[in-house]
Amino acid sequence: MATDLEKGAFAGKDTYLYYNSATYASPTWVEMVRARNVQVTRGAATTEVEFHGASTTGNIHGYSSFSGSFEYVKRLGTDAVFAALEAARDNKTIVDIIHLNGPETVTSPTDASKGWRAPVILGEFSETSNGSDGVTVTIPFVKADAYTSAGAAVNEAAYTGTQN
């Protein structure tokens, strides 16, 4: 075996999605083990520009945005994670989430997991119940207009997990 080779890619099944059940400054990450199919859209939006005297249209960059969705496979019986997500949606509270290429806390390998962290608000849940498939809820999210208690803006950002 070549011990000096590393994986160049990783599968979606090897990623982890967490929500913060504590404060932004001192997070307590709760893994959403039943989440899957995390999709993120980010970058500057484009706007088509039309004006008199031109025979074609052009585009310009607009504001940057961050949004996405994930699916959650509902659990029969009590599901504390889904209940927390529903409560955040119903109470219109900001959810601090991270999506990483490995567990939030690692001891080995020496590189901690990497991904992103973002304050989001959850949109309308869409539930699908098809035949023998698990009941799946699609949960959309968008970046929240969020600030720390000190008044600093909180945006999506790169995140590195904890290494013990």
DSSP-assigned letters across all residues of 68-104: EEEEEEPPSS--HHHHHHHHHHHHT--EEEEEESS-S
- Statement: 12-163 belongs to CATH 3.40.50: no
**Average model confidence (pLDDT) across the chain:** 90
pLDDT at 10 (0 to 100):
65
The end-to-end CA distance of the chain, in Å, is 27
User: How many alpha carbons lie under 13 Å from residue 112 in its C-beta half-sphere?
Assistant: 11
Give the residue from 116, 118, 158, 122 showing the smallest Cα distance to 139.
122
Q: Residue 85 pairs with which residues in a beta bridge?
A: none
What DSSP state is assigned to residue 131? T
pLDDT at 58 (0 to 100):
85
Say how far apart CA 93 and CA 18 lie, in whole Å. Answer: 16
User: For the CA atoms of 14, 24, 124, 76, what is the dihedral angle to 10 degrees?
Assistant: 60
pLDDT at 62 (0 to 100):
87
pLDDT at 112 (0 to 100):
80
pLDDT at 54 (0 to 100):
79
Report residues of the chain scoring pLDDT below 50: none
Beta strands in the chain (DSSP E): 16-20, 29-31, 35-49, 58-73, 95-100, 105-106, 114-122, 126-128, 136-143, 146-147, 153-154, 157-160, 162-163
